Amino acid sequence: MSADHSTRHEELLPAYALGAVDGEDLREMESHLATGCAECHRQLDLWQGDLEELAASVEPVTPSETTRRRVQRIAGAAAPIRPRPPGTLRWAALIAAASLLIAVWSGWRQARLGDELERLGAERDRLARQVSGLDRQLGLARAEADRMAESLAIIASPGARSIQLAGLGPSPKASGHTFVSPERGKAVFYAFDLPALAPDKTYQLWWIEGGKPVSAGIFNVDERGTGSVRVERAPQVAADAWAVTIEPAGGVPAPTGEMVLKG
Amino acid sequence: MLDFSGSFGVAAAPAVHLFMESRPSPDDAHLLRRIASGDGDALTRLFDQHSPVVLGLLVRMLGGRAEAEEVLQEVFLQVWMQADRYEESRSSPRGWILMLARSRALDRLRRRTSQQRREDEAAAGEGVAVRPVGTARLEAAEQRSRIGAALGVLSPEQRHCIELAFFEGLTHTQIAERLKAPLGTVKSRILLGMNKLRQALGTS
């Protein structure tokens, strides 16, 4: 008990423990406690004990599972940060603090935005799939547009020639068109109404120059019987004729099979 | 293991157990030592054991369930970081945690504007029903508990003043203004009420 201990201090202690003392009373109580009055400190601990019981008098409320998970995440994240003697392991403490902060931050963020993130994640995946699909389609469309543009350039070039091919024996209704651009040295060929072939067979386009067939490329037809060939090195002079034969898959150096188109 | 999940009115036995455990529990003190050495499982165990009463206090003080759960997490983060500061000779582990929670809740109350507070109180209705001390349900629970019996010996005015100071963090002057009562009256209500409380609790 300090020299200036009085009943007044004892009377203020319960309210002081409650945190209710203010003004001049507060200054007086604090300066008295600062003297280290053992009796007042002992009494204060007892009052605190009573208040702990008052705190526990409330109706308990079970926390949500989310809060429990957050606390578990804190416990699993990093060792507690405690003050260390100066100069020892400062970096380790900083790193531990950083990892704990990150854990707490990510815990909060995850808990609060978990559902939203999940929804956005699913939406992002869906959009990514859509974009990737559209990209692929765009790539194909661009390639197709390029091919069409080149073919058009050949067909529309000055001095372009058009050769019509007619169906023969097995496919009388079939037809074909070859457009040759002497200026570009290229040609395009389109076939229509040709039947689909077995997988080990292919159609092969030829031009006849001086009685000798020269391969212009191989092609297959789609379900509508349409096929095409772009000839990168077309004959410089007008060919004697153009023809299509059925050949083994991969094509052959000289025609061996049945002729289905000629013109 | 204590079961705090039931309400006071329904689960009488756990409630009695809750109040009888006011002195340092060797198990809890051991858990705090383990937490101080970085044992995460011990933190989870301590949380499971005491979070319902801590959350009950926070809901009582703050009103809003969401904010109370937020502060509950902060409290256990503080326990995780400061378990080595716990002094077994001065308070029970539960008492220490409750006082950490009260201190944090009071900080929040002081920061809060009266407008925000009204909004939170309105929002509290969506979470858990917060009953002021004095409802029939809580009174029934109090009859079965030590603190309940102790509170029962206070006059309503003494009890109200103590509750305003404890749960809302009001000072003598603020309580006098709130109740439009003379300052001296408020001071004596608190002093007499606290002394009655102590006698009823049997603290020496």
- Is pLDDT above 60 for B49? yes
Residues 54-93 of A with CB under 8 A from B: 54-64, 66-68, 70-72, 74-76, 79-82
- Is pLDDT above 80 for A121? no
- The Cα B193–Cα B164 span in angstroms is 13
Share the mean pLDDT of chain A: 84
pLDDT in tens, A21-63: 999 999 999 999 999 899 999 899 889 888 888 888 888 899 9
For residues A41-66, b (16+ Cβ closer than 10 Å) or e, as one string?
eebbebbbbbbbbbbbbbbbbebbee
pLDDT of residue B1: 38
Q: How confident is the model at residue B39 (pLDDT cuts 50, 70, 90)?
A: confident
Closest CA–CA distance from residue A94 to any residue of chain B (Å): 14
Q: Which of B87, B104, B105 is nearest to B96 (CA)?
A: B87
Q: CB–CB of A15/B194 below 8 Å?
A: yes
| Percent of chain B topping pLDDT 70 | 70
State ipTM: 0.72
pLDDT of residue A59: 86
Mutate to test the interface with B, among A10, A41, A61 (most CBs of B within 10 A): A61
Residues 196-225 of A with CB under 8 A from B: none
Instruction: Say how many C-beta atoms besides its own lie within 10 A of residue A218's C-beta.
Output: 17
What pTM, to 2 d.p., does this model score?
0.52
Phi, psi of A222 (to 5 degrees): -85, -175
**Average pLDDT, stretch B152-173?**
92
Contact residues, chain A, for B10 at CB < 8 Å:
none
pLDDT of residue B135: 44
pLDDT of residue A90: 63
Q: CB–CB of B71/B104 below 8 Å?
A: yes
